[in-house]
């Protein structure tokens, strides 16, 4: 697939008033893919993001799910690239490989992988693989997330859940309802469980990598909210979820009683 076919793709970036990582990501996209369309949705307080037609200013603290939905509604391209603001794209990040898998209808969601980066002394940067893909094992009212993939596809590996670094078919994600805004920034597991139940095909291409900077995110005071992980478990119609790190999250008691 020729690089001109990236005209069919829009990068969407949810952010929360973090100009430093967002600026780094946007500069990296401009260097590697200068013609790629970019759309940003910002729910930070006192945010510098401007309403310039490529940026959406949202009420403070609505969360990543609402930000992604706002951008999904604005998309005019058949495919989109979701990026975490902590990412950095390089010329080695072959977005065309991900786009081709979706455009040729082999996958509905095609992901790359992260290389975790952390600054040490002076200019030294420590880098190591930071995989985030996995499979969903649903048994009755319990879900277990497991690292790895199910099987090998043609140029990718089949899995059920990936990082927030993927190319997807716009209409498929719209048809499944996008992201759950009530879950704010704990939306990923519920999104992929819903995608799995609706038959979306998910895969990963490990050699397509983006740098992920493990930096402390800017914090902004917001009203304390509910336990969103537990709420996500309840919204999935489950009683408990075992996360990739082995942590167990249970649905609220009232939800289990219902």
The residue that leads in pLDDT, 90 or 151, is 151
| 43-47, 95-99, 169-173, 178-182: range with lowest mean pLDDT | 43-47
pLDDT class for 116, splitting at 50, 70, 90?
A: confident
For residue 126, pLDDT beyond 60:
yes
Q: Region 152-157: what's the mean pLDDT?
A: 95
- Per the CB < 8 A criterion, the answer to whether 209 and 115 are in contact is yes
Q: What angle do CA 23, 93, 197 make, to 5 degrees?
A: 95
In a domain, 228, yes or no: no
Question: Mean pLDDT for the chain?
Answer: 88
DSSP 220-256: --------HHHHHHHHTT-SEEE-TTS-EEE--HHHH
Distance CA(170)–CA(172), nearest Å, equals 6
The answer on pLDDT for 221 being more than 50 is: no
pLDDT at 253 (0 to 100) = 79
Q: Is 208 exposed, middle or buried (0-12, 13-18, 19+ CB in 10 A)?
A: buried
Percent of the chain with pLDDT over 90: 74
Query: Between the CA of residue 73 and those of 41, 80, 170, 174, what are the distances in Å?
Result: 12, 12, 10, 8
The structural domain count of the chain equals 1
In a domain, 256, yes or no: no
Judge whether residue 51 has pLDDT over 60. no
CA neighbor of 173 nearest in space, from 150, 192, 153 = 192
In a domain, 257, yes or no: no
235, part of any domain: no
Q: Is residue 238 part of a domain?
A: no
Full domain range(s) for residue 177: 3-136+148-217
- CATH assignment at residue 173: 3.90.550.10
**Over pLDDT 70: what percentage of the chain?**
87
Q: pLDDT at residue 172 above 80?
A: yes
Please check whether residue 232 lies inside any domain of the structure. Answer: no
Element (H, E) at 172: helix 170-175
Query: What pLDDT digit, counting tens, does each position of 193-204 carry?
Result: 999 999 999 999
CA angle 192, 96, 37 (to 5 degrees): 80
Task: Quick: pLDDT tens for 67-114.
Answer: 999 999 999 999 999 999 999 998 889 999 999 999 999 999 999 999
The pTM of the full predicted model, rounded to 2 decimals, is: 0.90
**Position 165 in a domain:** yes
Residue 169 to residue 78: CA distance in whole angstroms: 6
pLDDT confidence of residue 234: 96
The residue with tokens 């973090």 is 18
> Does residue 131 sit within a domain?
yes
pLDDT at 220: 47
């Amino acid at each position: 697939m020729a690089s001109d076919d990236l005209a069919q793709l829009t990068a969407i970036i949810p952010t929360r008033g973090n100009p430093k990582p967002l600026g780094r990501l946007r500069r990296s996209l401009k260097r590697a893919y200068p013609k790629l369309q970019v759309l940003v949705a910002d729910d930070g307080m006192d945010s510098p993001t401007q309403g310039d037609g490529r940026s959406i200013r949202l009420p403070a603290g609505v969360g990543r799910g609402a930000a992604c939905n706002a951008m999904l509604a604005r998309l005019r391209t058949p495919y989109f690239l979701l990026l975490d603001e902590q990412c950095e794209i390089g010329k080695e990040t072959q977005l065309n490989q991900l786009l081709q898998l979706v455009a040729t209808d082999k996958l509905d969601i095609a992901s790359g992988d992260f290389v975790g980066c952390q600054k040490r002394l002076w200019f030294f940067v420590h880098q190591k693989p930071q995989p985030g893909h996995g499979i969903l094992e649903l048994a009755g009212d319990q879900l277990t997330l497991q690292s790895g993939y199910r099987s090998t596809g043609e140029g990718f590996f089949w899995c059920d859940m990936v990082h927030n670094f993927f190319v997807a078919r716009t209409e498929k994600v719209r048809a499944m309802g996008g992201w759950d805004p009530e879950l704010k920034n704990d939306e990923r597991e519920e999104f992929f469980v819903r995608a799995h139940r609706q038959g979306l095909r998910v895969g990963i291409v490990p050699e397509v990598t983006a740098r992920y900077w493990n930096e402390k995110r800017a914090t902004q005071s917001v009203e304390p909210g509910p336990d969103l992980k537990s709420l996500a478990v309840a919204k999935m119609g489950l009683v408990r979820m075992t996360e990739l790190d082995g942590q167990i999250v249970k649905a609220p008691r009232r939800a289990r009683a219902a």
